[in-house]
Structure 1
């Protein structure tokens, strides 16, 4: 059973939400990227549901590293958890059992890797997603969700809130463009499989997702801010912090993915974001210092390096979540509360 009180509260929040978890009883659900932040929380939610509600859900976790997975899931009973060890996109997936649902979260998520290994970033995304789509067709799954990213929007052409059909400009001469462009292609593969093979698959464009459940190895900006605050250090920005961030709390994102499995329309894409959790990187840094700093000497410092380390270009974008809310999903956790719950869970 999960030891963390904060995560237990999050799982209860998800299981008592607008998602009808009764429909997952005694089903088999494949989660890819199961040792990542979102993937691991999807798996833990299902295992928690089994332990507290006897749902009998069989969870298949697609991973690359068994030792890492064992550490992440060490507090849970394993009888309904099995590992599928494979490198996505290399036709290594072998699974003889039935699969009812798939949530595909696996992807390269580190900006430095996107710069250092752009070819692998693209191939893993496209070949891996094709592999999962073929598996979904062969297993005749009830539903599949592909986890995309808000980065597919690039630089939007509009100044209003960005809806799902408001795709913007991506500079194809930028090496880092391999990530958002391959995400676009993966979404198009999903649309194509929906059309040609009648596969019930939809895409979820996640805003920046964080909160309770981040892993000790997490090094994205929200984790860096949190560590700096509680360690009594200044928050150092390596850009001017003008990019506008769109955020969603981990539990709100997890329930959105389960909700889309059951309610999303095939071939469609949905923004998963909390419109209230929108601010610039600098504003977020200042909010963290104001609310969570260890002492009143801490501040936000801007230190821009000479060389480009893979930072995404400044983005001016406010994601609309109306399409998903109109389906019946509702995010409720604020940005400040997201940080509080994340910090309470770590420290």
Structure 2
């Protein structure tokens, strides 16, 4: 694996104002105890994904605004993609790129104090077409990162898990807590993702129990907002693009599955909090309970409230779900009570999530242009 370091410095995150830049600065000025990270080295895997890139940008912003002198090692598979995502940030002196595939052993000479492991296959179509790669990336990648954490005797690690770990929970539960795991059909190839998350959390717990690795798992609800990548084609981005392009929203399912969401700024704050807080080997739901609704309800919200009724919601349901690889419909309302007990509180509701994301995607100051 190839490691590349940059030494030229720049001062600002972006050449223009944006909702994402605003989010970065709000996090930097928040109640997060950034002194825990001051002068430390943070290793971020999956640094060209939404979560990983947002973490890297946040820490760089914290350095600029709070003079924390945090060193960031960003693990990426493709340097060109990293340069495209980070732009001038790639030249910041405190940022190092570690270029390689996470399923290969990790070799880093420097001391590492914190790890945020965000690598994952995130596209449903890929999960269906390449289930072996999905599982291998999850398990082998996580094992390599945990071995690094053990070797470096780190202060804190966060494994980014998913709400899909719950599978299909008990429909009679009003709120789903961290202990309420449901059924996963291992006959379905898409289960490579959810079962992969389960074995990775189990592996994290094993390393915490046997080697005292200070790892916690963050079970993220669907996460989006300002800063979503141009290549992201998940359902919430499709809805936003439909609104921007004044196209009707087309659902390929009945849309009865209940969604749980969280804004990217709130998620990054949760991860940074878990870096130094929480119990080793335990999992924490990261969700804004106020955003809970069915997919079809979210589509209607975008069409009616965000786009001002200028577009509609249509249904085009294929005979087989293999074409799109969507997760099975579930009735689930996640609870974030355990994380909130640590002092975390989500701030951005679903409508505002869409407004901020659409402004960032379109380069507009507000969403009035949609109506």
Give the TM bin, normalised by the shorter chain.
over 0.9
Instruction: Indicate which of 181, 185, 188 corresponds to 1:174.
Output: 188
* Correspondence for 1:108: 121
Question: 1:8-23 residue pairs with structure 2 within 5 A?
Answer: 8-23=21-36
1:255 aligns to 2:305 (yes or no): no
Deviations 1:105-162 (A, max 9, x none): 0010101110111011101100110000000000111010000000000000242200
Contact 2:112 2:152 in 1 (8 A): yes
- Indicate the SS of the match to 1:298: coil
TM-score norm. by structure 1 comes to: 0.97
- Indicate the SS of the match to 1:56: coil
* Correspondence for 1:337: 352
| Aligned length, in residue pairs | 345
TM-score norm. by structure 2 comes to: 0.91
Instruction: Indicate which of 182, 199, 214 corresponds to 2:213.
Output: 199
* Correspondence for 2:330: 315
Contact 1:238 1:304 in 2 (8 A): yes
* Correspondence for 1:244: 258
Query: C-alpha displacement at 1:297, in angstroms?
Result: 4.2
Question: 1:56-135 residue pairs with structure 2 within 5 A?
Answer: 56-76=69-89, 77-91=91-105, 93-135=106-148
1:44 aligns to 2:57 (yes or no): yes
1:267 aligns to 2:316 (yes or no): no
Query: What is the CA–CA distance in structure 2 between the aligned matches of 1:5 and 1:240, rounded to whole Å?
Result: 35
Query: What is the CA–CA distance in structure 2 between the aligned matches of 1:126 and 1:307, rounded to whole Å?
Result: 29
* Correspondence for 2:6: none
C-alpha RMSD over aligned residues: 1.1
Structure 2 portions without partners, runs of 5+:
1-11, 363-371
1:215 aligns to 2:215 (yes or no): no
Does 47-56 or 150-159 show the bigger shift? 47-56
Contact 2:76 2:98 in 1 (8 A): yes
Runs (4+) off by over 3 Å: none
Structure 1 portions without partners, runs of 5+:
none
Query: What is the CA–CA distance in structure 2 between the aligned matches of 1:151 and 1:99, rounded to whole Å?
Result: 30
